[in-house]
């Protein structure tokens, strides 16, 4: 039976002995017959004398594989299989500098969810959280491999990632049951169409488990192991750490860990690192996109877009404060404010992640353990996702980033989105900014305008406009009347070019 | 007679032959007797058979020197001199990550001026421009070595930097008279207390002179020559180019040129590169501070500070649009707006440069050729400079960069500046933000408050306040009445801690 493109194919082997996890037990060499392309996939130990390799082929057609190992029992196995196109669009990559698309070219517009300690929860919380996120329409999920210690943590897991030797975590002895649960977590997300943004290291141990005290070498052993297990899942993203700068480590250690990750991941998944107070240098080559926390970068126009300019990579604001009711200022946004910030993010040409921090019955928060979403923002974010998915092009970019007082984003001469934010004007006069780079609109171009109510989730056609005054930095339809707007804040205008 | 610390000492020699400028004719090796510290200074050809070296000693005490060269006539000369402390504070360096200080520790707060093509003007314009800038109180001046072509350029210089060979610029044959004029230009600025921000390459040739068409090797020959001539002047800053991205060169060429500059400058002067639309990666190690153009980064709060976070270096907004009356949007700010933007820049923990673009009688602009300043902003910028120089500390930093709705900058627990911008409130209630890093204010701390009118240039004491409510992210003096404010926009509040 042929295998689907991009889907992981798992091969299992019996080894003669337990091979320490600090070296790769065997390598699977896969060769695409038509092109001669070769892929090298690290195998991993999965308990007892069982070893596995997971390979996600990226080309259709016949593949042949064989294994190589110092262990004779794991060396010289071989086989072949056929790959055909399936339903999977493949791993998400950076596209057009500031955006994302799957390997097959399908655009991906992230609207993230967050529950850091979800992996370590029991049922039904564990499974129901995935359903909740999928039903909410969020399509990327940040969670940590290592358990969280400290405040709002009501659940201490039984399963831990490693055995202990002489009272110390022994990374050469991973706990297969722990990692099978991690596999399952990633699989569940994939089954529901959610990208798994895996937080590999953990700044929230707070001395409770000591997993933040591994040496750099130990961290590397773990990294090789988790990459060998998970990298074949097409929907995996790697994030080195949430709030990396809470850990007192020199940046150079993160540089090396990031470079190692780039080197060992056969699939070149997206890689980032998320900050607390100090930004990591996201210009480092191993970083594929900037993953940023900032309490104020999205509270007003003209800010988050600056990150795009400096990093020249996609910018995902993975922490912009949460909808909730706790006293901490990071956790008591109302839904209107959070949705407002997502729209500001959108016209800044960036992406953002959601999190919810209402105190639950158990004393925890959704952004810690998952569970039902109670806020009013998710429905509006799903609506925003629909708007983003309607964009015929790589994504929305600020049109005139140098100095557009209206902060319009779009695809030049194709589609434009202007978010009116808190301004609540009575009417909107047709205007397009013109910037660099991209095509300039021309006299006589015709556009349809929709008025979008970002809170009430409505899209209302508002007429057709013809450019009759095109200047150096803006264009107008002077002959047309302004568009009357409904009362209230948080409206947006979408301007789509149509055939004249 | 002893020589003053940091001041250039010029030594002249007669060589036996003209040595091509693409190699260093000789090296001056200077040795500080007490410490054994050695400095290597490149010599340069200065016409005929005359060669010179300029050495600016950075340590007091006795120095001995000798020359080394392939040319016997330039080799083996020696001498000695004594260095004593003088009036010069030495080259400006980066201080406390985001600020500047002279080599002797004296803080330097840049308020820049701009006249790109000034070097190529005749008298009295050439000399009077320096007087004008000094009298205006501006303390850094951006100008280009190579002449500007294109619009608003009313003066084509007679002196050019190189001879031509077969119709092509020959960088191995510099024109001493051109570079003596450049020396004099730099000296004049130094005499008036102005830092010379020398723009080494030129994106505005526009095919008129062809100096933008030198090869990378030719650019390097010129760079070595200009560094050998100018680097001993303590007040030199290097900027590779204004609007570097107007030139169609790969970033890697700028990377190499910047790295070469870092390598060959014996004095390690400040180094930057200024952008048009695309930002250079100012995280590159050779860049000492970010020199940025952006039309909107300083038009509202909460923006420019983001550049600090990503570059972790001083940020100088060397182009924030100009006070003037030309139609281009970069050149028709009114003075109120430009001063407003400088204050926004200040509370963002950044620095900015002034430029003026009223069309002059000759059809040019001050920011092109210099001449009298006609605008109303310079007096207010000199006032701002006074406020900055009153700061007892390295400089003003955003206190709570993560999310302070008031955008207060300062030195934690010492001095705070809050700019009220366009908001024009009737009163101001005492409040201090608290952030990371830095000392936290404490219950009972006492502060004096001044109300600053940034346009009318007044500082009015507004009472003494005692902290009686210190929270996680802010502190208040609840027992005190709010400060009544005069009518009008563009007020600031300065909060200075005093002994209780």
pLDDT profile of chain B (500 residues), mean per 10: 96 82 86 97 94 97 96 94 97 98 98 96 96 98 94 79 95 95 98 98 92 96 97 98 96 98 98 96 98 97 98 98 95 97 98 96 91 97 98 96 96 98 96 92 98 98 98 97 95 95
Residues of chain B contacting A405 with CB distance shorter than 8 Å: 296
User: What are the C-alpha distances in Å from B64 to residues B41, B77, B354?
Assistant: 13, 11, 43
Tokens representing B193 are: 């207390």
Q: Does B295 touch chain A (CB under 8 A)?
A: yes
Tokens representing A128 are: 């129901």
Angle between helices A125-136 and A176-191 (to 10 degrees): 30
Contact B295 A436 (CB under 8 A): no
Question: Residue A260: what are its φ and ψ, rounded to 5°?
Answer: -65, -45
Q: pLDDT for B149-190, tens place per residue?
A: 877 776 678 899 999 999 999 999 999 999 999 999 999 999
Tokens representing B388 are: 């900055």
Residue with tokens 């060998």: A228
The closest alpha carbon to B18, from B38, B42, B47, belongs to B47
Tokens representing B2 are: 């002893």
Distance CA A302, CA A323 (A): 23
Q: Does B277 touch chain A (CB under 8 A)?
A: yes
pLDDT at A20: 67
Q: Does B278 touch chain A (CB under 8 A)?
A: yes
Is residue B274 a contact partner of residue B243, using CB atoms and an 8 Å limit? Answer: yes
pLDDT at A16: 76
Q: Does B117 touch chain A (CB under 8 A)?
A: no
Q: What angle do CA A301, A305, A311 make, to 5 degrees?
A: 160
The closest alpha carbon to A350, from A106, A100, A89, belongs to A100
pLDDT at A272: 98
Q: Does B414 touch chain A (CB under 8 A)?
A: no
Distance CA B243, CA B276 (A): 4
What DSSP designation does B441 have?
P
Q: What is the dihedral of CA A75, A76, A82, A85, to 10 degrees?
A: 30
pLDDT at A361: 85
What share of chain A in percent tops pLDDT 90? 92
Nearest to A303 among B283, B306, B329 (CB): B306
Is residue A191 a contact partner of residue A183, using CB atoms and an 8 Å limit? Answer: no
Run of H or E residues at B216? helix B216-230
User: What are the C-alpha distances in Å from A95 to residues A39, A107, A339, A393?
Assistant: 23, 8, 25, 11
Nearest to A302 among B281, B296, B473 (CB): B296
Nearest to A306 among B297, B312, B473 (CB): B297
User: What are the C-alpha distances in Å from A457 to residues A317, A339, A382?
Assistant: 23, 11, 10
Distance CA B9, CA B3 (A): 8
CA contacts within 13 A on the Cβ side of B389: 13
pLDDT at B494: 98
B347 vs chain A: nearest CA distance in angstroms? 15
Is residue B186 a contact partner of residue B226, using CB atoms and an 8 Å limit? Answer: no
Can you list the domains of chain A with their CATH numbers?
3-84 (2.60.40.10), 92-389 (3.20.20.80), 399-498 (2.60.40.3950)
Peptide bond between residue B392 and the one before it cis (omega within 30 degrees of 0): no
- SS3 call for A378: helix
Q: Does A295 touch chain B (CB under 8 A)?
A: yes
Q: pLDDT for A404-425, tens place per residue?
A: 999 999 999 999 999 999 999 9
Tokens representing A7 are: 């889907």
A24 vs chain B: nearest CA distance in angstroms? 36
Q: Does A332 touch chain B (CB under 8 A)?
A: no
Distance CA B25, CA B52 (A): 9
Nearest to A277 among B283, B404, B436 (CB): B436
Residue with tokens 């001063």: B339
Q: pLDDT for A186-234, tens place per residue?
A: 999 999 999 999 999 999 998 899 999 999 999 999 999 999 999 999 9
Interface with chain A: mutation pick from B403, B406, B472, highest number of A CBs within 10 Å: B403
pTM, 2 dp? 0.96
Q: Does A80 touch chain B (CB under 8 A)?
A: no
Q: Does A277 touch chain B (CB under 8 A)?
A: yes
What DSSP designation does A72 have?
G
Question: Residue B435: what are its φ and ψ, rounded to 5°?
Answer: -140, -160
Question: Could you tell me the mean pLDDT of each successive run of 10 residues in chain A, 500 residues long?
Answer: 96 81 86 97 94 97 96 94 97 98 98 96 96 98 94 79 95 95 98 98 92 96 97 98 96 98 98 96 98 97 98 98 96 97 98 96 91 97 98 96 96 98 96 92 98 98 98 97 95 95
Q: Does A156 touch chain B (CB under 8 A)?
A: no
Q: Per 3-state DSSP, what percentage of chain A is helix, strand, and coil (rounded to 5)?
A: 20, 30, 50
Mean pLDDT (chain A, rounded): 95
B296 vs chain A: nearest CA distance in angstroms? 5
A326 vs chain B: nearest CA distance in angstroms? 14
Angle between helices A377-389 and A335-347 (to 10 degrees): 20
Run of H or E residues at A227? helix A216-230
Contact B403 A329 (CB under 8 A): yes
Is residue A293 a contact partner of residue A329, using CB atoms and an 8 Å limit? Answer: no
Closest-CA residue of A relative to B402 is A295
Question: Residue A22: what are its φ and ψ, rounded to 5°?
Answer: -85, 5
Work out the widest C-alpha separation in chain A, in whole angstroms: 82
Distance CA A357, CA A114 (A): 10
pLDDT at B204: 94
pLDDT at A154: 65
pLDDT at A23: 75
A438 vs chain B: nearest CA distance in angstroms? 13
pLDDT at A98: 98
Q: Does A500 touch chain B (CB under 8 A)?
A: no
The strand ranges marked E within B195-350 are 195-201, 236-241, 271-272, 290-293, 315-319, 323-324
Distance CA B244, CA B284 (A): 15
The closest alpha carbon to B285, from B261, B309, B308, belongs to B261
Q: pLDDT for A393-408, tens place per residue?
A: 999 999 999 999 999 9
């Amino acid at each position: 039976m042929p295998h689907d493109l991009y889907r992981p194919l798992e091969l299992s082997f019996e080894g003669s002995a337990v091979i320490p996890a600090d070296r790769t037990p065997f390598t699977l060499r896969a060769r695409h017959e038509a092109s001669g392309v070769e892929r090298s996939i690290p195998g991993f130990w999965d308990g007892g004398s069982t070893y596995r390799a997971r390979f996600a082929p990226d080309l259709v057609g016949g593949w042949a594989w064989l294994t190589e190992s110092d262990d004779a029992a794991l060396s010289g196995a071989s086989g072949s299989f056929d790959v055909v196109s399936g339903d999977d669009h493949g791993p998400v990559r950076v596209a057009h500098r500031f955006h994302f698309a799957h390997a097959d070219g399908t655009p991906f517009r992230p609207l993230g969810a967050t529950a850091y300690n979800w992996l370590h929860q029991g049922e039904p919380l564990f499974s129901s959280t995935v359903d909740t996120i999928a039903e909410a329409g969020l399509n990327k999920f940040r969670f940590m491999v290592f358990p969280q210690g400290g405040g709002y943590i009501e659940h201490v897991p039984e399963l831990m990632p490693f055995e202990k030797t002489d009272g110390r975590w022994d990374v050469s002895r991973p706990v297969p049951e722990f990692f099978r649960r991690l596999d399952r977590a990633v699989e569940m997300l994939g089954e529901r169409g959610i990208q798994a943004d895996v937080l590999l290291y953990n700044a929230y141990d707070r001395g409770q488990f000591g997993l933040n005290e591994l040496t750099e070498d130990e961290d590397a052993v773990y990294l090789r192991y988790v990459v060998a297990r998970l990298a074949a899942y097409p929907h995996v993203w790697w994030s080195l750490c949430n709030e990396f700068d809470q850990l007192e480590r020199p940046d150079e250690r993160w540089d090396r860990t990031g470079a190692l990750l780039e080197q060992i991941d056969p699939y070149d998944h997206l890689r980032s690192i998320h900050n607390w107070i100090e930004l990591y240098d996201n210009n480092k080559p191993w970083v594929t996109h900037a993953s940023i926390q900032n309490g104020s970068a999205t509270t007003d126009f003209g800010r988050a877009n600056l990150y795009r300019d400096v990093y020249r990579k996609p910018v995902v604001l993975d922490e912009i404060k949460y909808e909730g009711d706790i006293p901490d200022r990071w956790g008591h946004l109302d839904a209107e404010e959070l949705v407002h910030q997502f729209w500001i993010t959108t016209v800044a040409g960036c992406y953002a992640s959601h999190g919810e921090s209402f105190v639950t019955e158990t004393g925890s928060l959704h952004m810690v353990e998952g569970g039902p979403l109670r806020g009013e923002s998710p429905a509006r974010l799903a609506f925003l996702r629909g708007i983003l998915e309607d964009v015929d092009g790589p994504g929305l970019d600020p049109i005139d980033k140098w100095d557009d007082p209206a902060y319009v984003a779009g695809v030049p001469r194709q589609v434009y989105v202007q978010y009116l934010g808190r301004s609540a004007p009575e009417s909107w006069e047709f205007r397009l900014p013109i910037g660099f780079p991209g095509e300039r609109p021309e006299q006589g171009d015709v556009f349809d305008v929709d008025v979008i109510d970002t809170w009430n989730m409505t899209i209302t056609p508002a007429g057709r406009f013809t450019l009759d005054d095109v200047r150096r930095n803006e264009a107008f339809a002077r002959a047309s009347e302004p568009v009357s707007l409904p009362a209230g804040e948080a409206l947006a205008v979408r301007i789509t070019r149509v055939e004249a």
